């Protein structure tokens, strides 16, 4: 059974295996297919039109399915690997071990934001940015430059306290848990973390930075924690909602999975500690 | 020059000429409030055309949705933004703010602020031409 662990608790061997599996997917082209899929959805999900991956109720089940698929790809390379999560309320500075050279590498240099250490630096290892929105083919970050502070535990708790999953108009203007977690409204959790990392993480092609998976694994865990706190709060909406994925509608691009299928993560993985 | 186009090189030179300190300052101003450029949900923003940090940025309403790739002129924004002639993929949020594919998670008040933020982020690099989503 897959156990997702806090990234700060990984052993040196677990970090090495995770990094090596990422590099293997990059080499065989599968990694870039995930980046393409994400960017396609980012560009096509709109507040007043069809929306599946973002700015909509299915933001959480869509990313859960996306991460499961990615984790299965990693496990096809090394069955011992599970996606770690990054609790950015705790590991909230560029000095965190997450950003050390033996794991994801650090922030970009000032001249061009290029990441220069770790396995994903442009020199060596072949981490070339192929699915990109501009001409640069090296991984970029500017930790803490776009916004100074990552969300705090108190800010996370204020969002977890919201008892309604999502509300009409089911987009970036919505009140409720989903949109506050996504960050278009309120204290801003998920979106702010993308901005704090900067570089590729701030763009539509954000999965180019491997931290994308650790960020979303934690967002996914927050959904689980919210479910524990509000056991009687269902996924919404449930039926006949224009442009929006209802509880039992299938989600693109898979076509065979619904939000209802994604509500119980324990069918796929568990966590290192109780939610 | 392998791996870099002439225009990229020119863009990089222009950016360098503008000065790294200016880029730092621009990062602050591009995110700040602009008194002449406030967002009004529902109101169509005006066109603009200026040189910002050595790059030409242009924005205009686009009611002819047909020929633009992606959402630039389609059901996305009804407005298109160009940087040195290349279209920047933009999107309008329900509250009237704007995002682009370069700054996707941080809404700006106006298309001009969005274009300026993209120029700062690009650091002289050229945009990759828009491709229609494959979904």
| ipTM value for the complex | 0.93
Contact B27 A113 (CB under 8 A): no
Contact B107 A184 (CB under 8 A): yes
The two structure tokens encoding residue B26: 């621009």
Instruction: Determine the pLDDT at residue B20.
Output: 39
Peptide bond into A253 cis (omega under 30): yes
Nearest by CB to B135, from A173, A202, A253: name it.
A253
Q: Which residue is closest to B6 within chain A, CA to CA?
A: A135
Query: Chain A: nearest CA to B128, how far in angstroms?
Result: 5
A224-250 mean pLDDT: 98
Give the rounded distance of the alpha carbon of B41 from its chain centre: 19
Query: CA nearest A207: which of A82, A52, A41, A96?
Result: A41
Contact between A51 and A243 (Cβ < 8 Å) = yes
How far, in Å, CA of A167 to CA of A133, rounded? 32
The interface residues of chain B toward chain A in range 24-43, judged by CB-CB distance below 8 A, are 27
Instruction: Tell me the Ramachandran region of residue A190: left when phi exceeds 0, alpha when psi lies from -120 to 50, beta otherwise.
Output: alpha
Instruction: Determine the pLDDT at residue B1.
Output: 34
Nearest by CB to A203, from B75, B101, B126: name it.
B101
Query: Chain B: nearest CA to A4, how far in angstroms?
Result: 26
Give residues with Cβ within 8 angstroms of A160, minimum separation 6: A177, A222, A225, A226, A229
Residue with the two structure tokens 């009237």:
B96
Q: Is A225 exposed, middle or buried (0-12, 13-18, 19+ CB in 10 A)?
A: middle
The greatest distance separating any two alpha carbons of chain A, rounded to the nearest whole angstrom, comes to 51
The two structure tokens encoding residue B117: 């933020």
Please determine, for residue B23, whether its predicted confidence score (pLDDT) is greater than 60. no
How far, in Å, CA of A118 to CA of A175, rounded? 40
> Residue ranges of the alpha helices (H) in A78-189?
153-160, 177-182
The residue with greater pLDDT, B68 or B81, is: B81
Give the rounded distance of the alpha carbon of A97 from its chain centre: 19
Instruction: Determine the pLDDT at residue B62.
Output: 87
Instruction: Tell me the Ramachandran region of residue A186: left when phi exceeds 0, alpha when psi lies from -120 to 50, beta otherwise.
Output: left
The residue with greater pLDDT, B30 or A204, is: A204
The two structure tokens encoding residue A5: 């662990």
Give residues with Cβ within 8 angstroms of A257, minimum separation 6: A65, A250, A251
The residue with greater pLDDT, B86 or B39, is: B86
How far, in Å, CA of A254 to CA of A243, rounded? 17
The two structure tokens encoding residue A264: 């119980």
Task: Report DSSP state, residue B97.
Answer: -
Nearest by CB to B133, from A40, A145, A147: name it.
A40
Which residues of A fall within a CB distance of 8 Å from B135?
37, 40-41, 44, 252-253
B61-90 mean pLDDT: 70
Which residues of A fall within a CB distance of 8 Å from B125?
134-136
Instruction: Determine the pLDDT at residue B78.
Output: 87
Contact B94 A173 (CB under 8 A): yes
Please determine, for residue B87, whether its predicted confidence score (pLDDT) is greater than 70. yes
Contact B101 A202 (CB under 8 A): no
pTM, two decimals, is: 0.88
Chain A contact present for B13, CB below 8 A: no
Chain A contact present for B1, CB below 8 A: no
Contact A133 B102 (CB under 8 A): yes
Contact B133 A41 (CB under 8 A): yes
Instruction: Determine the pLDDT at residue A126.
Output: 86
Identify the three-state secondary structure at position B108: strand
Pairing state of beta strands B79-83 and B55-61?
Answer: antiparallel
Over residues A149-166, the pLDDT tens digits come to 999 999 999 999 999 999
B58-64 mean pLDDT: 84
Residue with the two structure tokens 């776009």:
A146
Contact between A251 and A54 (Cβ < 8 Å) = no
Instruction: Determine the pLDDT at residue B34.
Output: 42
Residue with the two structure tokens 């200016």:
B22
Contact B123 A112 (CB under 8 A): yes
């Amino acid at each position: 059974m897959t156990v997702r662990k806090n990234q700060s608790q990984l052993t040196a061997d677990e970090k090495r295996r995770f990094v090596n599996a990422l590099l293997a997917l990059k080499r065989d082209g599968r990694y870039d297919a995930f980046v393409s899929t994400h960017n396609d959805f980012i560009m096509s999900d709109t507040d007043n039109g069809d929306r599946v991956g973002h700015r909509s109720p299915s933001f959480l089940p869509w990313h859960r399915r996306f991460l499961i698929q990615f984790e299965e790809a990693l496990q096809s390379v090394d069955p011992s690997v599970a996606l770690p999560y990054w609790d950015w309320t705790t590991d909230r500075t560029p000095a965190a071990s997450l950003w050390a050279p033996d794991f994801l590498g650090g922030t970009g240099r000032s001249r061009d934001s290029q990441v220069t250490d770790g396995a994903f630096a442009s020199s060596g290892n072949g981490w070339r940015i192929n699915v990109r929105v501009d001409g640069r083919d090296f991984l970029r970050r500017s930790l803490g430059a776009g916004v100074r502070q990552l969300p705090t535990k108190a800010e996370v708790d204020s969002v977890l306290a919201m008892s309604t999953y999502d509300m009409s108009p089911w987009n970036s203007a919505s009140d409720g848990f989903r949109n506050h977690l996504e960050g278009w409204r309120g204290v801003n959790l998920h979106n702010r973390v993308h901005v704090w990392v900067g570089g590729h993480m701030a763009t539509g092609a954000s999965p180019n930075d491997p931290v994308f998976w650790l960020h979303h694994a934690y967002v996914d865990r927050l959904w689980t924690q919210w479910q524990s706190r509000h056991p009687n709060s269902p996924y919404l909406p449930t039926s006949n909602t224009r442009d929006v994925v209802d509880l039992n509608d299938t989600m693109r691009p898979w076509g065979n999975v619904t939000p209802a299928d994604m509500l119980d993560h324990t069918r796929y993985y568990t966590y290192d500690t109780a939610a | 020059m392998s791996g870099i186009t002439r225009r990229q090189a020119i863009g990089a030179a222009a950016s360098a000429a503008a000065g790294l300190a200016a880029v730092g300052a621009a990062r602050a101003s591009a995110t700040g409030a602009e008194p002449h450029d406030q967002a009004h949900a529902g109101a169509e923003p005006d066109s603009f055309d200026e040189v910002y940090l050595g790059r030409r940025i242009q924005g205009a309403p686009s009611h002819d949705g047909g020929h633009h790739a992606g959402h630039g002129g389609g059901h996305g924004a009804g407005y298109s933004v160009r940087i040195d002639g290349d279209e920047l993929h933009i999107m309008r949020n329900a509250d009237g703010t704007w995002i682009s594919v370069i700054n996707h998670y941080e809404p700006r008040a106006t298309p001009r602020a969005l274009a300026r933020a993209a120029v700062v982020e690009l650091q002289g690099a050229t945009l990759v031409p828009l491709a229609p989503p494959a979904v």
